[in-house]
Amino acid sequence: MNIYFLSGLGADKRVFSKIRLDDRFSVHHIDWIKPSKKETLSNYAARLAAKIDTTQPFQLVGLSFGGIIASELSNIIHPEQIILISSTPTGLPVSKLNHALIKFLLLSPLAAPILKSANSLSYKFFGADTPELQSLLKQILHDTDSKFLKWALVQMSRWDRKEKAANLFHIHGTADKLIPINLVNPDVRIEGAGHLMVYAQAEQMSGLLNKKLGDEMH
């Protein structure tokens, strides 16, 4: 069974580096492609779908922004299952004030250094509470393409999906500060886990993924 992993905003497969899946799964990490300036999430997902072999049964695992893209991909291709981690299956309510703040921040020439800086605030929101997690987050933010980050944040704030994708399973941490658990209704709650639980609670996450991915094997 092919398993395609989609990482978070600008992040890469490093966030999944501690996940251990059984040998029965063939793991593939999908790298982000460069978006067009005003490209919609659905159009972006349609281009990204070319990276997936749809001639064989497959499943998608989407972390954070990757979960949103996984849901959009399900409109185009048909995975056996989608597993969301630290993400949301539908559009989140974004107030007009937050829309204005996002727009202001993204138009500012200071936006890129602010968004890409690793500091106590970003550590708090990502739940990076150990030196190892802080080091990982610092590397990821440093390597993130600022134009991709800006585009994705705008598109996420506009995402208005109403219905969950079919065959979707959602795992979320109760201490997630980026996507608070009271805004979503996950299938499994990981007590005390933050946004980077796929790395921080890798052993527990590996067990969950092996079981849920295995349930869909034919």
pLDDT one digit per residue (tens) for the chain, 218 residues: 999 999 987 667 888 999 999 999 999 999 999 998 889 999 999 999 999 999 999 999 999 889 999 999 999 999 999 999 999 999 876 655 565 555 655 555 555 565 666 677 667 767 777 888 778 777 777 777 778 877 887 888 788 899 999 999 999 999 988 888 888 999 999 999 988 899 999 999 999 999 999 987 75
With beta carbons less than 8 A apart as the criterion, state whether 67 and 79 touch: no
pLDDT at 51: 95
CATH number at residue 63: 3.40.50.1820
Q: How would DSSP label each residue in 8-69?
A: STT--GGGGTT----TTSEEEEEPP-PPPTT--HHHHHHHHGGGS-TTS-EEEEEETHHHHH
Contacts of 8 (CB under 8 A, 6+ apart): 15, 63, 64, 65, 66, 86
* H or E, element range at 147: helix 146-158
pLDDT at 40: 93
pLDDT at 66: 93
CA atoms of 186 and 123, how far apart (whole Å): 24
pLDDT at 19: 96
CA atoms of 13 and 5, how far apart (whole Å): 8
The three-class DSSP label of residue 71 is helix
pLDDT at 113: 62
pLDDT at 154: 80
* Residue 72 structural domain: 2-215
Backbone angles phi, psi at 184, to 5 degrees: -130, 170
pLDDT at 208: 96
Which amino acid makes up residue 92? L
Count of domains in the chain?
A: 1
Tokens representing 116? Answer: 């890409």
pLDDT at 135: 83
pLDDT at 52: 96
With beta carbons less than 8 A apart as the criterion, state whether 24 and 209 touch: no
pTM of the model: 0.87
With beta carbons less than 8 A apart as the criterion, state whether 10 and 194 touch: no
